[in-house]
Each structure stands twice: as structure tokens, then as C-alpha cells.
Amino acid sequence: MKKDFLFTSESVTAGHPDKLCDQISDAIVDRFLLHDPYARVITECAVSTGIVFLAARFEQNDNVDFTDIARQVIEKVGYDQPDFNGKTCSILTTLKELPTARIHRFAEIDERKLSDAEIEQITVRDQVTVFGFACNQTPILMPLPIYLAHKLARQLSQVKLNQKLDYLSPDGKVQVGVEFRDCKPYRIHSISIIASQNRWEKSNLHILAEDIRETVIKPVFLEESIKPDSKTRIFIDFDEPFSVGGPSVHSGLTGRKNAIDTYGEYSRHSGAALSGKDPTRIDRVGAYVARYAAKNIVAAKIADECEVQLSYSIGYARPLSIQVETFGTGKIPDGEIAKILAQNFDFRLAGIIKQFNLRFLPSQLKGGFYEKLAAYGHVGRTDIHLPWEMTDKIDVFDSIKTS
């Protein structure tokens, strides 16, 4: 294993077209679950110049106005360009109700009241391999490159929304390169920020660079232990063909930013989209419980970094395979850790929904729950309470730590 290396991760603002699609899709999931916690819905979204396209399969619910939800999200993100805004963009929909045969097993099933034997009877309906990861590079046990990229992207979006840099458009992209020594973060190698703008008169690159340094980069690194140094390469620009950014110049699609949603490519992730799916989809919630397991392992100091792999197959309640990789940092063999996970963590679909209360989170958080996940990561968040970010299972490893 290479100990000295350079690694980069990317994040984007909430106004990036792909993230806009994720937010619209998850806002629809929130609305369905808010009116009926047992609703089934799968939604995908695509955007381009002046157009939003929605494709959904769902259980009938007359309280959900797909078009209105999309317009609200577009306005909230901050798009008010003449050729793309929430009031005038065209919204095309292809909506289809789910067949009764696909939903009957989940209709009105309250996992909170199920016995263990009943949970065992609820099987997954999708084949997927999901991954969860954690490491001790940051206080939230996330890789440093994606952690910093998210912080910068969020700050870039914030200075637009709070009018500090009102000439920015909602679309932006950030990349952070971190130099590692002996597998540990050593220094910030590079920071790249692409900031789209909505006013040509403010396109002076020197003004943009100075504004971004003062209002975005400097505040983000104020309390970080590893900061940019004199050799850190900082690239601040707007890509001229994309100077106004957003769907006006490049299209978006739900589920196209899986690496940004998870670990910034520092660890593996499933190819399945996380957004736009209700909690009965194992390809979504399985990724959450895998992160939960990996984070508890690292929090318990059983390993410095850990990847948990869960492989699910149609017709089974449990994953067919639980694999653990600690990259040589584990205190005990990876196979032994996997056995502890199988004995102490519930990886069954209904068990995941039950322990994380996934059907009822949209009604408990003002402004929805899943929509908030759709930008700046589904894991490693500190701005909202995520049940899979808890470290309440570290006690199952106590016997290992004392042996």
C-alpha cells in the first residue's frame, strides 16, 4: 500500500444542475412521506435550458403536486436567470402509479411494531452491493479531501445566497487536493474553485479571485488544523463557456454525483443513485447502514480507517455477504470484525427502516429531510441529525479493546 500520495475530491454547490435534480427528486420523496409515511415513490429528474423533466413511479397521492415542488426548489436554490427560473421554466412529467403487486407488502407496514421474526420475512427487491466508509482524518470520521470540498462548496453557495457576492450564480464547483505522508493528511496541495456569474460586468478575474479568497477560502480554513501554505496552488476562475452556469449551459440528472454524495472517491461507492427513492429501496438505505457500521468501528478505535461492503440479493432479508477492509489498520483480523457486525448490527431492510425511523424523518424536520441530504453529502453531515452518523454501537467492541 502506497503511504505517500496526493488525493483530490470534488464537491459542487446546491445550484449545480445535477444537485438541483437530486434536490427536486428528494423534495418529492419528502412530500410523499410527509402526507403518508408508508408511501412508495421513485423519482428521477433532468434539467436543461428552460426545461425540467420529471419521471416518477409512485403510489397514488393527490396531495403531491410535482410541478409545484420543482418550482419551489428552483427558487430556493436561487435561479432567477431569464432562461431558467422557477416561474417560467417548462416542466414535463411522466408519472405512473406503481402496480399493486409491487406495493402490497409494504402498504401500512409499521416497522416499529414488527417482531424480529416479522422483520426477517421482509426481503429486498433489488440486487445491489453498497459501501460504507470511515476514517480518523477528521472529527466527523470522513476523508479530509471531501470534507474540505464540501465546506468550501457550501460557503461558496452561502455567499451567493446572503448577497455577500451577489454577482455569483448558484452554480459552482470545488476541488481540493491533499498531500498525504505515511497515509495521513500532511498539507493542502491545491484548491480549485469554478464560480459561475450572472453579471458580465463583474467578470474581472482579479476581482473574482480576491472575493473568493476573502469570503470563501479564508473563513473555511480559519479553524482547520491543516491550512493552505505558501506552496498551495489556488486556482479561482470561471470557465468562459459556462460563465453564467446552471441548466442554461449544461444539463443535470438525478444520481450523477455519487462520489460527491459519499466519500469523494476516497472509498468505493455503489453505482446506484441515492436520491429520489423512498426508504424501502435497499440501494439507498443500505449505503446509510454501511456508513453507520464503518463509523462505529473507527469511533471505537478498532481501526484507523474502515470500509464495510454489504451485498444484497432479491428475495433475502439479510445481505448475502458482509466484508470489512481496514487497510492494515485494524486491531484484529477483518474477518473477525465482520462477524461482530453480523451479530450486533441489523442490516435487514425492515430493521434499517426501523432503527433509523426513515419513514417519519420528513415530518420531524422542518423543510423536509431527504431534500437536505441531496446537496453536500448523504454522510458525514453535522448540520442535520443523521441517525446513521451516531456512534452508539462502540460498546460492542469493548471486549476487543480490553483484550
Q: Are residues 313 and 293 both part of a single domain?
A: yes
Q: Is residue 116 part of a domain?
A: no
Q: In what order do the strands lie in the sheet with 5-12?
A: 5-12, 168-181, 184-197, 233-237
Q: Please report the pLDDT score of residue 7 as a whole number.
A: 97
CATH classification of the domain holding 24: 3.30.300.10
Q: Please report the pLDDT score of residue 104 as a whole number.
A: 44
Q: Are residues 80 and 199 both part of a single domain?
A: no
Q: Please report the pLDDT score of residue 381 as a whole number.
A: 96
Q: Is residue 115 part of a domain?
A: no
Query: Which residues 6+ apart lie within 8 Å of 303 measured at CB?
Result: 297, 326, 327, 329, 330, 331, 337
Q: Are residues 275 and 365 both part of a single domain?
A: yes
Total domains in the chain come to 3
Q: Are residues 329 and 395 both part of a single domain?
A: yes
- Residue 280: give the domain boundaries: 128-137+256-402
Q: Are residues 237 and 274 both part of a single domain?
A: no
Q: Is residue 120 part of a domain?
A: no
Q: Is residue 219 part of a domain?
A: yes
Q: Are residues 373 and 295 both part of a single domain?
A: yes
Q: Are residues 368 and 261 both part of a single domain?
A: yes
Q: Is residue 301 part of a domain?
A: yes
DSSP β-bridge partners for residue 323: 309
In degrees and rounded to multiples of 5, residue 134 shows phi and psi of -155, 150
pLDDT values of the chain reduced to their tens digit, one per residue, 403 residues: 578 999 999 999 999 999 999 999 999 999 999 999 999 999 999 999 999 999 999 987 778 999 999 999 999 999 988 889 999 999 999 988 876 544 445 555 778 788 889 899 999 999 999 999 999 999 999 999 999 999 999 999 999 999 899 889 899 999 999 999 999 999 999 999 998 887 654 457 788 889 999 999 999 999 999 999 999 999 998 655 446 788 988 899 999 999 999 999 999 999 899 999 999 999 999 999 999 999 999 999 999 999 999 999 999 999 999 999 999 999 999 999 999 999 999 999 999 999 999 999 999 988 889 999 999 999 999 999 999 999 999 999 987 755 5
Q: Give the Cβ contact number of residue 402 at 10 Å.
A: 6
Helix axes 282-299, 334-344, angle to 10 degrees: 120
Q: Are residues 389 and 263 both part of a single domain?
A: yes
Q: Are residues 87 and 200 both part of a single domain?
A: no
From the list 235, 228, 237, 230, the residue with the least C-alpha distance to 178 is 228
Which of 237, 253, 269 is at the close of a domain? 253
Q: Are residues 381 and 319 both part of a single domain?
A: yes
Where does 60-161 show beta strands of DSSP type E? 80-81, 84-85, 90-97, 128-135
Q: Please report the pLDDT score of residue 108 as a whole number.
A: 57
Strand 252-253 to 305-312 pairing: unpaired
- Amino acid present at 217: I
Q: Are residues 77 and 207 both part of a single domain?
A: no
Q: Are residues 133 and 262 both part of a single domain?
A: yes
Q: Is residue 68 part of a domain?
A: yes
Q: Is residue 79 part of a domain?
A: yes
Cell numbers representing residue 269 in the block: 461507492
In degrees and rounded to multiples of 5, residue 275 shows phi and psi of -80, 160
Q: Please report the pLDDT score of residue 114 as a whole number.
A: 85
For residues 52, 67, 157, 363, the Cα torsion angle rounded to the nearest 10 degrees is -140
Q: Is residue 188 part of a domain?
A: yes
Cell numbers representing residue 217 in the block: 477560502
